[in-house]
Chains A and B, each alone.
Chain A
Amino acid sequence: MATIRILSRILSVLSTVTLLWTQSGECNNGRRSGDAVDTDFSGFSVPLEHSFEVDDVPRFHLRGALQLRGGRENSVYLSQNQLSEKDRSTLKDVAAVDGLYRIRVPRVSLQVDRQTERQSEGYLTTFVRACSLVESHLSDVITLHTDVSGYIIGISIVTIPGSCRGIEVEDEVDLEVFNSTISVVAPVTAPAPETAPYIERMEQEMEKKGKNPQEQKSFFAKYWMYIVPLVLFLMMSGAQDQSGGGAGEIQFSVEVSSQL
């Protein structure tokens, strides 16, 4: 129960993006799996294994159990053991040599009806630097990624904070209990071109124009009070020019006649 409380606390701290992701993923998954068998809600559990060795050769052993629940909502709970005295010292040693802390889960499907055909085809592995795990006091965020059909395709682990600054973690108590946040992320549906809202918006614009006769007035109708004086002014000045032009013409004709 304690883990769940911690879990909820960290969830609130988590960036909203992750939350959004998870939610949309869940929605999406729920929609698709509507036709799946809804009766079996018991879920199932898969082992979460970890490995941290000074010589960096992976030797996985059990860290906890993932309670997976398919169906409408892909929910997951992690129940895990405390780190033993020996593990803690190993972890610190691994961190000291900048080794890796690896975790793995078997490849499974979250869809309950597919559980029967499930076989142990292999594992999905990932890692984090052991030092960052130690320095974050075992605060890690584990994300399971599924594909459209609910298969787990990848697992990722990050620690918060994620950096290795070389801070000494003296207090052994800090390395006893994992402070884990775990979530399942399904793919989001990429948006298609939004033609319908666009057309709607265009129509609204048109309607607005139609309703508002002020808008419909032509350019001339709106600004005639400016245009008329301008034109008048131009005509006035133009008339003067014309008279000049006329004189030129006369001159020209005179020239022509003289040539003749």
Chain B
Amino acid sequence: MAWLVVRLAISVSLLYAASAVFEDQVGKFDWRQQFIGKVRFALFDTHSQASKKLLVATDKNVFASLNSRTGDLFWRHVDKTGPEGHIDALLMYGQDAVVVVGNGRLLRSWETTVGGLKWETVLDTGSFQAAALVGVQDLVKYVAVLKKSAISLHDLSSGSQIWVENLPDSDSVQYQTIYSGGNGVVFVLGVVPNSHIVIVEYKIEDGEIMNKKSVEAVWMSSLESSCAVVSSGILLCVDQITQSLYTLPLQSAEQTEMRQIHLQMLDLEVVSGFRPVLTSTQPNPAQPPLSEFFLQLSPDHHILLQFIDGLIAPLRDFNPSYLAAFATSGERTVAAVMSPKNDTACSINLFSADTGRRHLDTTIIYHMDPNGGKPNRLYVHAFLKKDDSVGYRVMVQTEDLTLTFLQQPGRVVWMREEALADVVTMEMVDLPFTGTQAELEGEFGKKAAIQDGLLPMVLKRLSSQFILLQAWLAHLWKLFYDARKPHSSVKNDVTIDILSRDEFNLQKMMLMVTASGKLFGIDSKSGTILWKQYLENIQPNSVFKLIVQRTTAHFPHPPQCTLLIKNKDTGLGSLYVFNPIFGKKSQISVPALPRPVIQTLLLPVIDQDYAKVLLLIDDQYKVTAFPSTKNVLQQLQDTASSIFFYLVDSSQGKLSGFRLRKDLSTELIWEVVIPTEVQEIVAVKGKRANEHVHSQGRVMGDRSVLYKYLNPNLLAVITESTDTHQERSFVGIFLIDGVTGRIVHEAVQRKARGPVHFVHSENWVVYVYWNSKFRRNEFSVLELFEGAELYNSTVFSSLDRPYAPQVLQQSYIFPAPINTLEATLTEKGITSRHLLVGLPSGNILSLPKMFLDPRRPELVSEQSREENLIPYAPEMPIREEWFINYNQTVSRVRGIYTAPSGLESTCLVVAYGLDIYQTRVFPSKQFDVLKDDYDYILISSVLFGLFFATMISKRLAEVKLLNRAWR
């Protein structure tokens, strides 16, 4: 019977915690955006005229097909991260796309319409060098893959290996490229740097070496970057030191030396320090390449040249020109060249490749985003129009990873912001009030009243009331106007100007910082990008920290965010201050940071303009305040003795605490050293500053209260053992007070290994580790309690808490690997907490904190039932209805950000990784919101009914009384 009760209790508790979305709620308050990353290869499907496919392979190991009309994804394949899934080459012929993956580990062929895998072959080991399609008699039948020491030929339709041959002298010769002109042989070109070139000729049928020769080339260091094959098998190389072009017919047996052609003879010169680039085109792999080619002489100088009968003739000089590319449609090959037009725009023109003549009316104007980067790749899609002229569209990729697809005469068909595939950090900022609300605020603002007299005040009030009336009328008109239109045609285009805070503050501005150094301001309701800003000269290994210094609450002062950009190697940092709503750079002068910044500290101290003070601590423990006005410095001096901060040096295992002195120098006050020979500090986390805890304690079954140990200065320090043996490895958990350096709790999870994910909030720490003995993921929860009475219930001071808290801990098995962990956050902290677990499958699990409660009893008792404790079960359940993103999986989820909304029940969630997903969660259901299907008519009719009933009965009673009085 007891067991039945237990089961009942569990099922009831589960019922309570269930939080799935209904079918009709899909997409109502959530959205997902899918990204691909920086494009490395892009090929247009030229198989048929009407094809809309654009195949891309990216640095995020994504292979995808885009709709070239809309920019949407047709399909996407996300491979493993790291070198294992790296896409080495992408080749396309007809309906098939051949991809070499993982440094030549796998050869795959994809069907491009639906993205199905046709075949896959595991290749022999060896580092990948090059791949090429090989044609015989105008038919492309094979694909050749060149490895460091071998070449293999595979059938294009089945993937089966035709032959594999070892390359001669592969330990001394660096084989780098393959060339096949469709005449039954494959050339493999190798180089011995600064000595000679090796050309090996293989027969396609059986891989027999037909010919092998070496040609002297003392000046050459690498084939790949400086050579191309043009015309009917002529190897063409360029060298910037000798300022010459070199040619060599691949097939001729007699010529043993490359023919040198001085660039001077063509009146050309390579800019010093620039590596010239040769670009040739081979429209059909079964035929030799064209005899025309581009030579890039400087970053903005291209020239179209032609090779005829051993002579090189310039066809057209493009100076200046940023980018140039060939494209072929049918039998006609064209060249598109992007040249600067003015400061903000570029023009792209089409030229016929064989003559260099400009096609008329083919200009596309490309407007450069003033907040974006320079264009760095150009992909051209050429097609034949009905009148047999060549039309084209282009895709431009810029430094800030924006893909822009343009068509004539410069219309942007679509745009993708691929920088968002690598979000590093983010924040959510409240939107400002509308102009009218702001007006009201301004009326009662600080500058008002005092100087003005009575009359101006009255006038001001009247004018603001008038503005309010006007706004209300406009709003009514808009409602009326929208109501008349069919629902679908009501566009939800969001612009910054009309953005304003909604009733419950559910719509916010998402600030996203990406690894490429581009900042985005995104509307959290619709996912529309409202502003973007590309920060130039960001080192690729930079660390970002985003700080909200002033929120929107201080009208008329604009909100202010500060981004600290730190170079990981040198530690040198710089500050970028901007307005998070409009994305504009602030005019405030920022302090110069000549020394590496090692810690930042946002103080609750505000200056006269309501900006929170940011302290930056450099490697000599000097403190820089920002903003550093007199007012701030004065306040800092007054509060210096209560400003403490900590530093972590994980290389020495040292945690140290400092206190600010009045002269803004610092003094060391505590030190904890965890020997690095045994364990290494992997992560340190404090609590979130904006977190509120509503209840100080927990009511127990016997009606007594167990008070929580709510130390805002507590740090959770996670260490991992240096010994990785599965029996001896461990994970250490230290809870350290950040002010006094007191170790509040110290625990060791034996036979455990990282990666450790953890959340530190309220009075608990939840961490996930890998149990190396049982080979499973486990959750552990630590909760801290002060006990049955509080030491000092009014205020918490780390300096005055002599008694150590009680620590309770329990562990559970989690039947899935996890990527990231975060806890929900609400306005006042009344709502129960959930943990959001990002799973590698792309799902986000909303796990009630109730299941991670160290007070879950082994045996059910009356008291534990009273307290609503779920009986202990070692395994944590995963329920499909707990997935908050139903089927909208987030690929490679890397982080989850939670923010409170104006509604206590609602927490805003953004999960980011390769994709971005935004939704709302209601951990305790929507207790403060009426349901969507709330029956307004019933309740109001009942109300009115009762009202009239009372009126009538009152009247009747009066009549009756009157009658009685008369009797």
> In chain B, what residue has the closest Cβ to A127?
B669
> Cα distance A146–B787 when bound, in Å?
25
By beta carbon, the residue of chain B nearest A158 is: B802
Shortest distance in angstroms between B707's beta carbon and chain A's nearest beta carbon? 14
Alpha-carbon distance between A164 and B804 when the two chains are bound, in angstroms: 19
Contact between B674 and A125 (Cβ–Cβ < 8 Å)?
Answer: no
Instruction: Please judge, given known A-B contacts A163-B800, A198-B874, whether A190 and B747 are in contact too, CB under 8 Å.
Output: yes
Q: Is A93 located at the chain interface by the 8 A CB criterion?
A: no
- By a CB distance below 8 angstroms, the chain A residues around B749 are 189-190, 192
**Residue in B674, B748, B873 whose CB lies within 8 Å of A190:** B748
**B residues near A151, Cβ cutoff 8 Å:** 675, 678
- In the complex, what distance in Å separates the CA atom of A57 from the CA atom of B742? 21
B874, A187: Cβ atoms closer than 8 Å: no
Q: Check B812–A126 contact: CB distance below 8 A.
A: no
Our pick among B801, B806, B810 for the contact of A191 (Cβ within 8 Å) is B810
Q: What separation, in Å, do the CA atoms of A185 and B874 have in the docked complex?
A: 29
- Do A18 and B804 touch across chains, with their CB atoms under 8 A apart? yes
Contact A197 B671, beta carbon cutoff 8 Å: no
Whether A192 lies near B778 (C-beta < 8 A) is yes
Cα A117 to Cα B641 in complex, Å, equals: 40
Question: Is A149 a contact of B672 with CB atoms below 8 Å?
Answer: no
Q: How many residues of B contact A (CB 8 A)?
A: 53
Query: Contact: A156 with B747, CB < 8 Å?
Result: no
A99 to B464, CA, bound (A): 55
Q: Which chain A positions have C-beta within 8 A of B873?
A: 198
**Which residues of A in the span 37-79 have a Cβ within 8 Å of any Cβ on B?**
56
Known interface pairs A126-B741, A162-B800. Does A189 touch B750 (Cβ–Cβ under 8 Å)? yes
Q: Does B934 contact A (CB under 8 A)?
A: no
Query: Which residues of chain A have C-beta atoms less than 8 A from B780's C-beta?
Result: 190-191
Most chain B beta carbons < 10 A, residue from A56, A153, A185, A197: A153
Contact A187 B675 (CB under 8 A): no
User: Smallest distance from the beta carbon of B745 to chain A beta carbons, Å?
Assistant: 8
Q: Smallest CB–CB gap between B102 and chain A, Å?
A: 36
B638 CB, min distance to chain A CBs, angstroms? 13
Chain B residues near A198 (CB, 8 Å)? 872-874
* B360: Cβ under 8 A from any A Cβ: no
Q: State the Cβ distance, A74 to closest chain B Cβ, in Å.
A: 13
B810: nearest chain-A partner, CB-CB: A191
Whether A148 contacts B732 by the Cβ 8 Å rule is yes
- CB pair B673–A149 under 8 Å, yes or no, is no
**Contact in complex: B800, A193 (CB < 8 Å):** no
> What chain B residues lie within 8 Å of A56 (beta carbons)?
667
Contacts A98-B641, A125-B671 given; does A188 touch B746 at CB 8 Å: yes
Q: In the complex the two chains form, is B812's CB within 8 Å of A193's CB?
A: yes
Structural contact, B678 and A148, CB atoms closer than 8 A: yes
Q: Which residue of A lies closest to B719 (CB)?
A: A147
CB–CB B801/A162 < 8 A: yes
Q: How far is the CB of A117 from chain B (nearest CB, A)?
A: 11
Q: Which of A169-193 contact B (CB under 8 A)?
A: 185-193
Question: Which residues of chain B are within 8 angstroms of A153 by Cβ–Cβ distance?
Answer: 672-675, 743
Partner of A158, one of B678, B742, B806, B812: B742
Cα-based distance from A245 to B800 in the complex (angstroms): 83
B253 interfacial by beta-carbon distance below 8 Å: no
Contacts of B679 in A (CB 8 A): 147-148
> Would you call B669 and A125 a contact (CB within 8 A)?
yes
CB distance from B795 to the nearest CB of A (A): 11
Q: Which residues of A contact B678 (CB under 8 A)?
A: 147-149, 151
How long is the Cα–Cα vector from A148 to B809 in the complex, in angstroms? 19
A197 / chain B contacts, CB cutoff of 8 Å: 858
Inter-chain contacts of A189 with B (CB < 8 A): 747-750
Chain A CB within 8 A of B480 CB:
no
* Contact call B746/A145, Cβ cutoff below 8 A: yes
Using CB atoms, name the residue of chain B closest to A206: B3
Q: CB of B150 within 8 A of chain A?
A: no
What is the CA–CA distance of A23 and B118 in the complex, to the nearest angstrom? 65
Q: CB of B966 within 8 A of chain A?
A: no
Knowing A149-B678, A193-B811 are in contact, say whether A156-B743 is a contact too (CB < 8 A).
yes
- B146 to chain A minimum Cβ distance, whole angstroms, is 52
A12 CB to closest chain B CB, in angstroms? Answer: 15
- A14 shortest CB reach to chain B, Å: 9
A197 to B787, CA, bound (A): 27
A17-B806 contact given A126-B740, A148-B748, A188-B748, CB 8 Å threshold: yes
Given contacts A127-B740, A159-B802, A188 and B747 within 8 Å (CB-CB)? yes
Closest A residue to B876 using CB positions: A193
Q: Mark A137-169, 1 if CB is under 8 A from B, else 0.
A: 000010101011101011010111111100000
B662 to chain A, nearest CB (A): 10
Minimal beta-carbon separation of A89 from chain B (angstroms)? 22
Contact B813 A193 (CB under 8 A): yes
Q: What residue of chain B has the Cβ atom nearest to residue A160's Cβ?
A: B802
Is residue A124 within 8 Å, beta carbon to beta carbon, of the partner chain? yes
Choose among A56, A147, A159, A161 the residue with the greatest number of B CB atoms under 10 Å from its CB.
Answer: A147
Asked if A195 and B811 sit within 8 Å, CB to CB, the answer is: no
Determine whether the beta carbon of A154 is less than 8 Å from that of B672: yes
Could you jot down 20 A-B contacts, CB within 8 Å? Answer: A18-B804, A21-B804, A102-B669, A122-B673, A124-B671, A125-B668, A125-B669, A125-B741, A128-B740, A147-B675, A147-B678, A147-B679, A153-B672, A154-B736, A160-B802, A162-B802, A189-B748, A189-B749, A198-B872, A198-B874
What 3 pairs across the A-B complex have the smallest Cβ distances?
A156-B742, A154-B672, A162-B800
| A residues whose Cβ falls under 8 Å from a Cβ of B | 15, 17-18, 21, 56, 98, 100, 102, 107, 121-129, 132, 141, 143, 145, 147-149, 151, 153-154, 156, 158-164, 185-195, 197-198, 201, 205, 209, 215
Given A158-B742, A163-B792, list of 19 further CB < 8 A pairs?
A17-B805, A121-B673, A124-B673, A125-B670, A125-B671, A126-B741, A126-B742, A141-B802, A151-B678, A162-B799, A162-B802, A187-B748, A189-B749, A189-B750, A190-B733, A190-B747, A190-B749, A192-B751, A194-B811
